[in-house]
Amino acid sequence: MSMHSDIETILWSQDQISRRVSELAAKISADFGRCSPAPVMVGVATGAFLFLADLVRKIDLPIAVDFLRAESYGSGTHSNAAPTISLDLKLDINARHVIVVEDIVDTGHTLSKVIEHLKSKGASSVSVCTFLDKPSRRKVNFQLVGEGKFYRGFECPDYFVVGYGLDFAELYRNLPYIGVLKPELYK
Ligand code: 5GP
Ligand code: MG
Ligand code: MG
């Protein structure tokens, strides 16, 4: 796959992503194998849609899948300290084990809000599986619920990245790799 002309560098290729997603799926399948009913995988729209789709196809458990939406960045590259839940779950997660599937954890505001929301709906545990993690940018520490676990695909350096679900102004989500956008495109 050739590189899109708006991309400066590719951080993780389609093959690297696929291998890492397999590893995460194997870990989740092992960790939740004894849990009945199997967990509810909650994708945070829109960014997590590709990661969620790839991940669940590699998890060997009778999981349920749902989505919620949290508004944070709007269309730009700046984080919002007070995200809101703008689309709620369809499923009842009371007394269920929930795994939040995220594209990226940056300041942590979105994830904190999402976890708090799932906890208030009675989840017996809340785990997190994020494709990318930028720990250097963290402003709030999220608290997992119950026996919740934390999984991450890759630790991401402090660049604005796009692809594999991640957008800039709703574009680039469909790139099959993670790339750094040329800074002149958003500065
Ligand atoms: P947080 O609330 O942790 O600051 O931000 C989480 C959300 O901000 C992510 O779900 C994602 O939508 C967006 N975000 C954070 N960093 C990046 C980035 O490098 N690239 C893109 N495209 N979105 C990002
Ligand atoms: Mg997200
Ligand atoms: Mg976005």
User: Does 106 participate in catalysis according to the annotation?
Assistant: yes
Predicted complex ipTM: 0.97
Q: Which atom of ligand 1 is nearest to the CA of 172?
A: 22
Mean pLDDT computed over 153-168: 97
CATH code at 7-28+37-66+90-185: 3.40.50.2020
* pLDDT class of 187 with cuts at 50, 70, 90: confident
**DSSP states of 53-91:** HHHHHT--S--EEEEEEEE-STTSS---SS-EEEE--SS
Closest CA to 117 of 51, 67, 78, 179: 67
* Ligand number nearest to the C-alpha of 133: 1
Give the full edge-to-edge strand order of the sheet including 7-12: 7-12, 178-181, 161-162
Q: Are 66 and 40 in contact (CB under 8 A)?
A: yes
**pLDDT tens digit string along 22-71?**
999 999 999 999 999 999 999 999 999 999 999 999 999 999 999 999 98
pTM: 0.95
**CA-CA distances (angstroms) from residue 135 to 7, 29, 57, 132, 140?**
23, 25, 28, 10, 10
Probe ligand 1: pick from 103, 138, 175, max atoms within 8 Å of CB?
103
pLDDT of 75 reads: 53
**pLDDT tens digit string along 3-21?**
999 999 999 999 999 999 9
More reliable by pLDDT, 74 or 142? 142
Q: Ligand 1 within 6 A of 103 CB?
A: yes
State the catalytic residue, choosing from 31, 106, 158, 167. 106
Distance 73 CA to ligand 3 centre (A): 6
**DSSP states of 101-133:** EEEEESSSHHHHHHHHHHHHTT-SEEEEEEEEE
Q: Ligand 1 within 6 A of 49 CB?
A: no
**CA-CA distances (angstroms) from residue 27 to 101, 149, 176?**
14, 11, 23
Distance 36 CA to ligand 3 centre (A): 34
37 upstream amide cis, omega within 30 of 0: yes
